[in-house]
Amino acid sequence: MKYFKKLVGKKCYLSPIDVSDAERYTEWLNDIEVIKYLTLRDKMVSLVTEREALERLARGHSYAIVTLESDELIGSCGLVDVDYLNRTCEVGIFIGNKEYWGKGYGTEALKLLISYGINYLNLNNFMLKVYSYNERAIKSYRKIGFREMGRRRKSVIIEGKEYDTIYMDLLAEEFESIL
Ligand SMILES: CC(C)(COP(=O)(O)OP(=O)(O)OC[C@H]1O[C@@H](n2cnc3c(N)ncnc32)[C@H](O)[C@@H]1OP(=O)(O)O)[C@@H](O)C(=O)NCCC(=O)NCCS
């Protein structure tokens, strides 16, 4: 695996996706504790499907999240459905290595991604979806400046319980760039 320091923070940097990391991603995307928070929780992810997915993602604005201290891959994040006419996009993120949860990496990675989206892609509105049971993610998104714009009630059923899907968005003017 080979990483390139495209967007650099204090704890981590964002690098283009390396397809040869497919095995690591496949391992994470078969970990129930990780995928219970993701839309692909009901998908079958195999080495074959993950290689294909990474080939596709590696051509868009998706990035590997890599630690600065040890050049270790810990997850990925990206901008999808980018609309350059209306300057909107959707963002997604996951840290697959659970040892790195709650240590500030996700917040920093997302700040780097949004800073890049604002400063270099001229994007203005960033949207995301998060499940109401994902308190860690919601806390991180609020710290960045995301605000709830609405929720689809009882739209997720997991482990026998119903939860909401929360829609959040952020405008460029509400965000303090770190690039
Ligand atoms: C969501 C995610 C990207 C956040 O990244 P992270 O590095 O774990 O988050 P951060 O440490 O930057 O911020 C999380 C905040 O929530 C707090 N937190 C940690 N665990 C928590 C928990 N179980 N419940 C509530 N808050 C929690 C942290 O203390 C921190 O707040 P603070 O800075 O005020 O102390 C990461 O946890 C992840 O990938 N989770 C699994 C997949 C996922 O949920 N993806 C998002 C789908 S919408």
The model's pLDDT over 82-109, given as tens digits with 9 standing for 90+, comes to 999 999 999 999 999 999 999 999 999 9
Half-sphere exposure of 146 (CA within 13 A, CB side): 25
Ligand 1 contact via 136 beta carbon (within 6 Å): yes
Share of residues in the chain with pLDDT > 90 (%) = 98
Residue 58 binned pLDDT confidence (cut-offs 50, 70, 90): very high
Q: How remote is the C-alpha of 25 from its chain's centroid? A: 13
Cα(143) to ligand 1 centroid in Å equals 11
Ligand 1 contact via 146 beta carbon (within 6 Å): no
pLDDT in tens, 109-134: 999 999 999 999 999 999 999 999 99
pLDDT for the residue numbered 68: 98
Q: Domain 7-126: give its CATH superfamily.
A: Gcn5-related N-acetyltransferase (GNAT) (3.40.630.30)
Residue 1 binned pLDDT confidence (cut-offs 50, 70, 90): confident
Domains in the chain: boundaries = 7-126
Tell me which of 29, 101, 126 to substitute to probe ligand 1's pocket, judged by most ligand atoms within 8 Å of the beta carbon. 101
Q: For 30-34, what is the mean pLDDT? A: 97
Residue 50: name the closest of 80, 74, 30 by CA.
Answer: 30
Question: Helix, strand or coil for residue 175?
Answer: coil
Global pTM? 0.97
Cα(105) to ligand 1 centroid in Å equals 9
In this predicted structure, the answer to whether residue 38 has a pLDDT above a threshold of 90 is yes
In this predicted structure, the answer to whether residue 179 has a pLDDT above a threshold of 90 is no
In this predicted structure, the answer to whether residue 45 has a pLDDT above a threshold of 90 is yes
CB 65 within 8 A of CB 33: no
Share of residues in the chain with pLDDT > 70 (%) = 100
